[in-house]
Amino acid sequence: MKKLFPVLLLVYSIPALAQTSLKNTVSKKADSLETQIVAWRRDFHEHPELGNHEFRTAGVIAKYLQSLGLEVKTGVATTGVVGILRGGHPGPVIALRSDMDALPITERTDVPFKSTVKTTYMGQEVGVMHACGHDSHMAMLMATAQILASIKSELHGTVKFIFQPAEEGLPPGEKGGAEEMVKEGVLENPKVDVIFGQHIQSYQPVGTIAYRPGGDMAAVNDLQIIVKGRGSHGAYPWSAVDPIVTSAQIINNLQTIVSRNLHITDNPGVVTIGAINGGNRGNVIPESITMLGTVRTFSAADEKLFIERIKQIATKTAEANGAVAEVNIPYSTHYPVTYNNPELVAEMLPTLQTTAGIDHIILRQAETGAEDFSFYEQKVPGIFIHLGGLPKGADPATAPAHHTPNFFIDESGFPLGVKALCDLTLDYMSAHSK
């Protein structure tokens, strides 16, 4: 056996050496594609489309995936595109996901590819802008598809590229996004074993990757509260049951859920009222007021608590004022907690550390933003990572926030995002192929 040991060591080293060589090839390809990735991103940015209306976007993506020789399916959950790349050897099925939709926001950034698109959303004329980075997600996943297709014969498994519409939610009555993609079988035929996704962040330094095992992003429920009172002339408020005063009391009382009901040392939580509509004159007390808001939680128990307390507070506060409150929660949107499988994170963390460099990997705090990537993670183990997009030397505290007209990201981090998706795919295949 002593004489055989060097031979056995050499035999067992060959796959590792081959894997390293393959990943080096991938890294070089990703760097060489930087100009193309930026061009794709800017094209998508200049031509944004709202959820379930990503027709041009889907066409560009489908045509490109077809040119790579992938099996392509379009019209999934309205405008979604799915591409399947079957490797040269048997192995696991890995899904990689990008969102596609833009937001009803008028852009203010001073860039040559600034969006000037306008459309009608919920009865109002609005601007349309990629104010959350979905344009960059699509560009990076297209480059990932190109690289993995170029080494197809060396892949031990199958890759499913999911380009998903309507991540940002939809108007009441419409269906879409990850939940509909799952319902339409995007994780089947072939059955997905694991899924990876990423999101660029305007406040996280470029060149870094952040991760979190377990609860990463919050569950979200949107809500509608209709307060019904009795109208009157504003000069005679004693003749009214004032829904405006009642609504003000409800809003204040809702804040006690976080401050007095939530076990804040376990999980954070948020209750926000973001819109109040009712009345049209200063001297008229209206009959009703409609409020819209959002709720963020990190556990099923907290979600249940928040919903129960919101209903109780709204209805009882209204009752105390002689009014009636109707509470609809969720109103049109519900996403579960974005939950990164801890065992999978532990397995793949060395990959991310090698790809970005251990000093560029960040264990992040849980975030009260939400992601419908969570619907995939309910069905299969998954990891959602976060890619830095803050220019070097910039202050995270003053970085333009997501979902705002000044949203801005540094494009130099795109190759790292591509490398991360490719390396996660290759290393998972290497560890799980037969």
End-to-end CA distance of the chain: 27
Per residue in 292-314, pLDDT (tens digit) is 999 999 988 999 999 999 999 99
**167 classed as catalytic:** yes
Give me the pLDDT at residue 350, please. Answer: 98
Per residue in 15-73, pLDDT (tens digit) is 666 788 899 999 999 999 999 999 999 999 999 999 999 999 999 999 999 999 999 99
Per residue in 316-368, pLDDT (tens digit) is 999 999 999 999 999 988 999 999 999 999 999 999 999 999 999 999 999 99
Q: Which two tokens stand for residue 198?
A: 């990423």
**The one-letter amino acid at 384:** F
Integer Rg of the chain from CA? 25
Per residue in 144-193, pLDDT (tens digit) is 999 999 999 999 999 999 999 999 988 888 999 999 999 999 999 999 99
How many angstroms from the chain centroid is the CA of residue 128? 18
**101 classed as catalytic:** yes
- Give the Cα separation of 278 and 382 in Å (integer): 43
Single out the residue of 432, 406, 426, 421 nearest to residue 23, CA to CA. Answer: 426
Per residue in 59-113, pLDDT (tens digit) is 999 999 999 999 999 999 999 999 999 999 999 999 999 999 999 999 999 999 9
Are 338 and 217 within 8 A, CB to CB?
Answer: yes
* Cβ atoms < 10 Å from Cβ of 110: 8
Active-site residue identified among 99, 101, 135, 427: 101
Contacts of 206 (CB under 8 A, 6+ apart): 388, 389, 390, 391, 392, 410, 412, 413
Active-site residue identified among 49, 167, 179, 216: 167
Task: Write the DSSP symbol of residue 259.
Answer: I
Tell me how far CA of residue 380 lies from CA of 44, 52, 115, 266, 302, in angstroms. 30, 25, 36, 26, 23
